[in-house]
Amino acid sequence: MRTIWVGIVGVVLLLLAITLQVRREKEAGVAYPPIVMEWKDLNEAEWGPLGRVSEYRPHDACSMCFTLPNYDEYQIYEYAKSDRPDGAIIIPRSIPNPAPEVMEREGFDPERGGYYDEDGEWTWFIGRQGFGGPTDREKWSDDLPVSTIEMKRVQARYMDRIMSIAGVRSFGIGPHGFVVDLLAGYEKSRNIIPADLEGLPIQTNIMSGEARFLVSPDEARAPREDGPE
């Protein structure tokens, strides 16, 4: 009996030591390691965030990109690894994937997925819908050296981890990097929020009163729908 109790106490002490180590790392602002994912990880599940995984059709836009022929055959999605319990976030991509009849129009550039309209404005297409403005392959802002989609991928990877910190009300993307809104009274959480995520800076703002949620990346960088149908 004594041996059993000694074993139980040993396990409890080990778990306590691990918990304290994790807490010390957070308080020290230890950077979170990147999360890597492959398509085979997706195939291990029968169901995904957008229905049956067997209906996902891989697309060559990226290693984890796919379309849904039975839903919207031209919209490209990306299955992004995250720290959520279900392990993933689906990111709708803002990149060209034109319908065949659009590609037959005069002046169409197949490499860029669009053409210049009568006013000289560049229009790229998802299916038959035209869009103006940048795709998500372009830089988020002049102050950041990475593309919009890379910002979204990093945000997806750490969304739940950042939002689980006491006092955090929103986690978005600003012109200079990530932005975390922290409620007044939770200033100590600044010591837990990392200074950057995978080399991309985080700015922490102390809020007061009602939460003012940041505009999401999709809203902030959504392409303008002004092309021909």
Residue listed under structure tokens 């890379």:
150
Report pLDDT for 160.
87
Comparison of pLDDT for 72 and 177, the residue scoring more: 177
pLDDT digits (tens, 9 = 90+) for 178-190: 999 999 999 999 9
| Single pTM value for the model | 0.67
Contact of 199 with 158, CB cutoff 8 Å: no
pLDDT digits (tens, 9 = 90+) for 185-205: 999 999 999 999 999 999 999
Report pLDDT for 193.
94
The domains of the chain are located at 39-94+139-219, 98-129
Task: Classify residue 123 by its DSSP letter.
Answer: E
Q: Long-range contacts for 144-150 (Cβ within 8 Å, ≥24 apart)?
A: 144/175, 144/176, 144/177, 144/200, 146/200, 148/94, 148/217, 148/221, 149/78, 149/91, 149/93, 149/94
- Helix extents (H) in 95-167: 100-103, 148-163
CA dihedral (66, 69, 75, 81) positive or negative: negative
H/E segment holding residue 43: helix 39-43
Residue listed under structure tokens 């957008």:
50
Residue 66 has pLDDT above 80, yes or no: yes
